[in-house]
Structure 1
């Protein structure tokens, strides 16, 4: 009957130290941590390890529901899988403790809001990109290889092989071919 912690931050420049300290203070004897987006369960290796490690009678502890999942489907699938294993869920910052009926009900309600928040953020991001494009401020990534067209053509005319050109210019061999195809 162990308390098992899970900490997650979304990007590499974020720090999970505060979450880990809080999970430790809550009594977690094992903590899994990772830096991955929470919009999907796919590719979250620490979460997969945690779900594989946790045993019947244990409680999975995290600071906030959105640290575990932002998708209702993923959350409900995880909860179902954990319940079948006999594992409880507890969020430190919210009144979620699936060992109680109220905790189970609150979990379902918060799952809806976590996914809603993600969808609203996506909408705002798309609106911002559309506005920036309209104003000419957002043009996307500049083509790196196409900007080196003259250099590619010069090196090729000097008899250099395509792989050597790619290495010399810091681009891929496929990019060399794409530059030549576009010429």
Structure 2
């Protein structure tokens, strides 16, 4: 049986693209969750999937960083699945670890490199967020919804209004402007009431 696993980190992100890709990859069952990948502890769907897969199954994931953001967790999860006789396929990374066959040396190298990049990316995000928070605090700025600079909020609203032409997702707009998704939607709601 082909079993899909999809994950996004926050409630504001969408799972639909991953679910479509997994269904196109002929997955018969999907395990889906919105939870951070920094730890496996709160990931109930991941735990359920690992518990329920059987020898001969294939777990399909769209990208390596959807399975784990730490190289240690990534290796642990894949090793546990392979030890159960379950193959693991990463669609976008074009890597498959077939149970019982062992991984090719090039697949192992790519797997570890991509896993390391996922962990590095997460570490950089945490570092930048912490630095930004500290700079804002030192400058006396309040962090949060009411503390967003007006120019950032306006930029986010402009980008939202032109999403059809600029091709940006809401997540992209949040990343570019730094304005949280709830703030963007609250401002849009305020504008429509006015």
Using the TM superposition, give the Cα deviation of residue 104 of structure 1 relative to its aligned residue in structure 2, in angstroms: 2.9
Q: Within 2, Cα distance between the matches of 1:79 and 1:122?
A: 25
Structure 2, unmatched stretches of 5+, are 146-194
Give the TM-score taking structure 1 as reference length. Answer: 0.72
Using the TM superposition, give the Cα deviation of residue 139 of structure 1 relative to its aligned residue in structure 2, in angstroms: 6.2
Q: Which residue of 2 aligns with 1:17?
A: 16
> What is the correspondence of 1:77-96 to structure 2 with a 5 Å cutoff?
77-96=76-95
4+ long deviations beyond 2 Å: 102-105, 138-141
Q: Say how many residue pairs are matched.
A: 141
Structural RMSD (CA) = 1.8
- Contact kept in structure 2, 1:82 and 1:88, CA below 8 Å: yes
- Contact kept in structure 2, 1:129 and 1:138, CA below 8 Å: no
Give the TM-score taking structure 2 as reference length. Answer: 0.68
Structure 1, unmatched stretches of 5+, are 142-183
- Equivalent position SS for 1:33: strand
- Contact kept in structure 1, 2:38 and 2:70, CA below 8 Å: yes
Q: Within 1, Cα distance between the matches of 2:143 and 2:107?
A: 47
Q: Which residue of 2 aligns with 1:26?
A: 25
Q: Which residue of 2 aligns with 1:158?
A: none
Larger radius of gyration: 1
